[in-house]
């Protein structure tokens, strides 16, 4: 089975099976705070194409102006948003991005343009040669990234000079070594990490 067919089948099945959970999450967000249920943000996809990533909104409305990094116990995060983030449920709407062909289930996480501009040229070409994913090894390794940044004296600098280069190493390794079985391992490891 091709990667695209696998993505389509899993994304469609996931949206159908998780529909009740998605509806409950949407209702909880609506009742908890003012603003839209969905959060859209421009990200860089395959070959540098820009697209809007979908997430459940986990912050107070219009919070992005205070910065794109989430640092420690960020006061912008709503009560429901904290729960959704803890269990990574805010990422589920990205199954829509997978259906649209903008993302894959597994692949390098798509970044905002300002951080893609920090990629070394050779690395950028490799990372952007494949569709970005909902999960990958870096997502598992840095699932508590906001807590790490919360301990940094300068979170923005720590992200650009420590976390981002480490993520790029994972991304490049994935692109060079990717197989169907690797994708299955990453999906399994992601689910296990969420359960833990």
Which two structure tokens, joined as six digits, stand for 61?
């409305």
Which pLDDT value is given to residue 1?
63
Give the confidence band of 80 by pLDDT, cuts at 50, 70, 90.
Answer: very high
What is the reported pTM?
0.90
What total of structural domains would you count in the chain? Answer: 1
Which pLDDT value is given to residue 119?
96
Q: How far apart are CA 60 and CA 79, in angstroms?
A: 10
Which pLDDT value is given to residue 32?
92
Q: How far apart are CA 155 and CA 126, in angstroms?
A: 26
Q: How far apart are CA 11 and CA 3, in angstroms?
A: 12
Which pLDDT value is given to residue 90?
94
- The 10s digit of each residue's pLDDT in 152-180 is 888 888 889 989 999 999 999 999 999 99
- The 10s digit of each residue's pLDDT in 111-152 is 999 999 999 999 999 999 999 999 999 999 887 787 778 788
Which pLDDT value is given to residue 142?
85
Secondary structure of residue 56 in the 3-state scheme: strand
- The 10s digit of each residue's pLDDT in 24-73 is 999 999 999 999 999 999 999 999 999 999 999 998 887 766 566 766 66
Which pLDDT value is given to residue 65?
62
175-195 average pLDDT score? 91
Which pLDDT value is given to residue 181?
94
Domain that holds residue 105: 3-195
């Amino acid at each position: 089975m091709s990667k695209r067919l696998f993505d389509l089948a899993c994304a469609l099945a996931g949206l159908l099976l998780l529909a009740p959970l998605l509806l409950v999450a949407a209702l909880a967000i609506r009742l908890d705070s003012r603003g839209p249920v969905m959060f859209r943000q421009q990200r860089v996809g395959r070959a540098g194409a820009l697209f809007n990533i979908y997430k459940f909104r986990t912050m107070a409305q219009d919070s992005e102006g205070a910065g794109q990094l989430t640092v420690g116990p960020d006061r912008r995060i709503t009560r429901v948003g904290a729960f959704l983030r803890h269990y990574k449920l805010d990422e589920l709407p990205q199954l829509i991005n997978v259906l649209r062909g903008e993302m894959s289930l597994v692949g390098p996480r798509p970044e905002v343009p300002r951080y893609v501009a920090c990629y070394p040229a050779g690395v950028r070409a490799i990372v952007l040669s494949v569709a970005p994913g909902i999960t990958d090894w870096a997502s598992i390794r840095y699932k508590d990234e906001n807590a790490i940044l919360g301990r940094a004296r300068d979170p923005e600098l720590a992200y650009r000079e420590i976390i981002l280069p480490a993520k790029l190493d994972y991304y490049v390794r994935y692109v060079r070594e990717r197989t169907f079985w690797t994708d299955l391992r990453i999906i399994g490891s992601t689910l296990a990490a969420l359960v833990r």
